[in-house]
Structure 1
Amino acid sequence: MYNVDSNVWVRQESDGTATIGLTSYACSLAGQIVSYTPKKVGKDVKKDKSCATVESGKWVGPAKAPVAGEVTAINEAVSAQPGLINDDPYGEGWLVKIKPADWAGDSADLKAGADAMAAFEAKMEGDGFGGC
């Protein structure tokens, strides 16, 4: 599921946790990620507030959590090699895992499937994005 405005995705896992990452569009806009600073395990994050800070050669900013909850894991592989975010944003390049406080409520306004694709296409067109 996607928060299109914040360029982040979230996936609910079978154990009830939620994995959060940047979209490939965010990676294209930012360029090569060179630094990753996640919130610490045990830290509560609010919806639409930073769960990690990422830095590229042309951008430094927050990755905003699409759902609220407690950070349960950070991606040590990304800490060692921040470029994984660019190389595999939906797989090995995830940012944090959280235990959602209210998955049903917080995820209600997120987009999935064709709705997400249409929203991203409109956003890219509005942003004048020419492609990767």
Structure 2
Amino acid sequence: MGAVRGCNIPEDLLYSVDNNVWVRQEADGSATIGLTAYACSLAGQIVSYTPKKVGKSVKKDKSCATVESGKWVGPAKTPVAGEVAETNEAVAANPGLINEDPYGEGWLVKIKADDWDGDTSDLKTGADALAAFEAKMDADGFGGC
């Protein structure tokens, strides 16, 4: 597990650094998407989660869910295009799971990706992701998680 300024950044995931989201390809070919620990720290405690409906088509870098905290409301932008295959019922019941376990139980949606290889070619992983988040945190004036 990598970390930047106290924010966990697992090095085995793919990241859209600009959108503060991660994606992981599952064994069945679906793509699980969630917010980064950095996004959770910026937003504060998440109080609402409204995913796109199962069966809905989503475009790369467009909203797959809306999340709301005490100081922020905004889209979670998917790093891959496709069809929403599953939403997280546990997070619907307890949006705070996003903060508590952003890379595990706090995932947002699962998508049947249209073009996994094409959509993920510009995403960061491993040391590249850690360096990119360090640069983003510098630019944002972020002190740490």
Q: Determine the structure 2 residue equivalent to 1:61.
A: 74
Partner residue in 1 for 2:134 = 121
4+ residue segments displaced more than 3 Å: none
- What SS does the corresponding residue of 2:49 show, helix, strand or coil? strand
Cα RMSD after superposing both structures = 0.3
Offset of residue 110 of structure 1: 0.3
Once the two structures are aligned, what percentage of the paired residues are identical? 83
Structure 2: tracts of 5 or more residues without a match: 1-13
**1-structure distance, mates of 2:25, 2:136:** 24
| TM norm structure 2 | 0.91
CA distance in 2: counterparts of 1:70 and 1:43, whole angstroms? 6
Q: Which residue of 2 aligns with 1:49?
A: 62
Cα distance in 1 for partners of 2:139, 2:84 equals 33
Aligned length: 132
Q: Does 1:7 align with 2:16?
A: no
What is residue 82 of structure 1 aligned with on the other side? 95
Alignment TM-score, normalising by the size of structure 1: 0.99
Structure 1, residues 75-111: CA drift from partner, whole Å, max 9, x if none?
0000000000000000000000000000010000000
Cα distance in structure 2, aligned partners of 1:101 and 1:53: 22
Flag structure 1 segments of 5+ consecutive residues without an equivalent: none
**Matches of 1:96 and 1:80, distance apart in 2:** 14
- TM-fit CA distance, 1:28: 0.2
